[in-house]
């Protein structure tokens, strides 16, 4: 009886050990490799942190997606009031699987003097200009010298463009940025190409980028549509950009 019990205990322990070894070998190397191949490559860097002088800070998250792919620069926060789409972009991009390209996201954090969310029109607080100046001073030099295939500038609006709720455009007509924007629009269901002709932020980022070798276009989203639809539009946008063919 005792011997039988001992044998049973021994077999039980051996089974547990084998099970544990199998579980450990399944989990440990796989996860470590995945972490090394993907997440470990993502890095975070503060580009400028002098709010007293600049009215805000600038940071960058590098290497989202395929760290070995062609590089794309994305910018959020040029207009601090429009932060709902900035947050949406930052939320959705890391959830996209099997991206072809490598995404660096520049984040402008204006710390004061921007309008309350919901009062998008007019957006006339000094923080709007602060964001634009941070873009020109810190983000533009990094992108223009950063070997990027293109740049995306993410914005929102309060419904000022008639039936145009969700759209892309380059402020420089005839630019490569325009043709990339048109390709994105034609490959998506819900993103149109619409150039409002007048932008306040263009001269601080997308215009000089287009003029100096980095095709750039805006994404504009209506701030008052539901978050689910904003999320879906953002996935459409990123998918379309990720399938662009660069020259």
Pick from 79, 86, 230, 233 the residue near Zn ion by CB under 5 A: 79
**Rounded-to-integer distance, Cα 194 and Cα 185, Å:** 9
As separate numbers, helices (DSSP H) first and strands (DSSP E) second, the chain gives 8, 8
Q: How far is the CB of 82 from Zn ion (least distance, A)?
A: 5
H-run or E-run covering 60: strand 56-65
| 133 to 172: interface string for Zn ion, x by CB under 5 A | ----------------------x-----------------
Please state the closest distance from residue 156 (CB atom) to Zn ion, in A: 7
Q: Which region, judged by CB under 5 A, interacts with Zn ion, from 20-28, 63-71, 75-83, 162-170?
A: 75-83
The answer for residues whose C-beta is within 8 angstroms of residue 212's C-beta and 6 or more apart is 144
Q: Binding to Zn ion by residue 128, rule CB under 5 A? A: no
Write down the least CB distance from residue 36 to Zn ion, Å: 38
Of 211, 73, 65, 217, the residue nearest 138 (C-alpha): 73
Nearer to Zn ion by Cβ, of 19 and 117: the residue is: 117
Q: Which is nearer to Zn ion, 80 or 215 (CB)?
A: 80
Determine the length of the chain: 247
Q: Stretches 21-29, 68-76, 78-86, 144-152: which one binds Zn ion (CB under 5 A)?
A: 78-86
With 0-12 CB in 10 A as exposed, 13-18 as middle and 19+ as buried, what is 24?
Answer: exposed
The site that binds Zn ion (CB under 5 A) totals a number of residues, namely 2
Task: Name the minimum Å distance from CB 179 to Zn ion.
Answer: 22
Of 76-84, 103-111, 129-137, 178-186, the window that binds Zn ion (rule: CB under 5 A) is 76-84
Strand order through the sheet with 43-48 = 43-48, 56-65, 102-110, 71-76, 150-157, 216-222, 167-169, 192-193
Question: CB-wise, 133 or 242, nearer to Zn ion?
Answer: 133
CA proximity to 79, closest of 234, 175, 174, 201: 201
Tokens of residue 244, six digits = 């662009």
**Residue 71 vs 155, nearer CB to Zn ion:** 155
Nearest to 72 by CA among 174, 214, 226: 214
Give min distance, CB of 224 to Zn ion, in A: 15
Listed ranges 16-24, 72-80, 97-105, 135-143: which one lies at the site for Zn ion (CB under 5 A):
72-80
Give the contacts of 15 (CB within 8 A, at least 6 positions apart): none
Binding site for Zn ion (CB under 5 A): 79, 155
């Amino acid at each position: 009886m005792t011997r039988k019990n001992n044998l049973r205990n021994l077999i039980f322990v051996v089974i547990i050990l084998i099970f544990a070894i199998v579980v450990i070998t399944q989990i440990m190397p796989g996860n470590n490799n995945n972490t090394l191949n993907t997440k470990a490559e993502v890095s975070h860097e503060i580009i400028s942190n002098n709010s007293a002088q600049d009215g805000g800070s600038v940071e960058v998250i590098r290497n989202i997606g395929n760290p070995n792919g062609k590089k794309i620069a994305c910018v959020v926060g040029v207009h601090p009031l429009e932060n709902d789409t900035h947050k949406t972009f930052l939320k959705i991009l890391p959830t996209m699987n099997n991206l072809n390209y490598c995404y660096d996201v520049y984040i402008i954090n204006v710390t004061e003097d921007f309008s309350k969310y919901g009062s998008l029109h007019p957006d006339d607080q000094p923080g709007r200009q602060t964001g634009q100046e941070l873009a020109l001073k810190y983000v533009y030099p990094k992108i223009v010298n950063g070997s990027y295939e293109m740049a995306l500038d993410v914005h929102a609006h309060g419904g000022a463009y008639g039936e145009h709720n969700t759209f892309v455009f380059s402020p420089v007509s005839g630019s490569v940025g325009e043709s990339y924007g048109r390709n994105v629009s034609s490959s998506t269901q819900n993103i149109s190409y619409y150039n409002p002709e007048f932008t306040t932020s263009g001269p601080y980022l997308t215009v000089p980028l287009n003029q100096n070798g980095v095709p750039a276009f805006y994404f504009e989203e209506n701030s008052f549509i539901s978050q689910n639809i904003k999320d879906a539009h953002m996935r459409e946008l990123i998918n379309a950009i990720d399938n662009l063919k660069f020259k």
